[in-house]
Amino acid sequence: MKVTVSATCPAPPEVVWEWIADPHKHIRMLPDEIRNAQVLENGDMACELVTVGVREPMTVRVVQADPPRRLVEERVDGRRKGTSVFEIEPEGEHASRVTLTAEVELSRLASAVASGPMKSALGDQLRNLATLVATEA
């Protein structure tokens, strides 16, 4: 299942990049469905996904970075395949357009149930990011 959301952040790409690429900042922007987030010694992010009656631990690693435009994260816990791609584009002089695409390996039935909540959670994550960059500016 693949879900994409976009939002405007009130900061230039370099500032937005710092929030997305720094795991200690990144975990602060995660939506409410992600609980107990922590940065591991190797820089991976571990957390628990709690949504639609599911409680699932997961570990995510940055696997590709093209500062300040694109960052790719991949699930590395072996439970299911999943990736998140953040794409950042300038939008005017002092803002950025952030597009977040998440792809998760789910059955058709699970995809039908999870699609709406996943899109909502990704939207929340981008709203959290916008709020955090605005308060830091």
123 is a domain residue: yes
**Domain that residue 121 falls in:** 2-31+60-136
94 is a domain residue: yes
**Is the Cβ–Cβ distance between 38 and 47 less than 8 Å?**
yes
83 is a domain residue: yes
Distance separating alpha carbons of residues 75 and 20, to the nearest angstrom: 16
pTM, two decimals, is 0.93
CATH number at residue 15: 3.30.530.20
47 is a domain residue: no
> Which of 1, 47, 4 minimizes the C-alpha distance to 26?
47
Structural domain count of the chain: 1
14 is a domain residue: yes
Distance separating alpha carbons of residues 115 and 125, to the nearest angstrom: 15
Per-residue pLDDT of the chain (137 residues; tens, 9 = 90+): 899 999 999 999 999 999 999 999 999 999 999 999 999 999 999 999 887 777 899 999 999 999 999 999 999 998 889 999 999 999 998 999 999 999 988 877 777 778 888 899 999 999 999 999 998 76
37 is a domain residue: no
Q: Is 63 left (phi over 0), alpha (psi -120 to 50) or beta?
A: alpha
Q: Tell me how far the alpha carbon of residue 136 is from its chain's centroid.
A: 19
66 is a domain residue: yes
Place of tokens 């058709």: 108
50 is a domain residue: no
> Which of 121, 116, 101, 90 minimizes the C-alpha distance to 8?
90
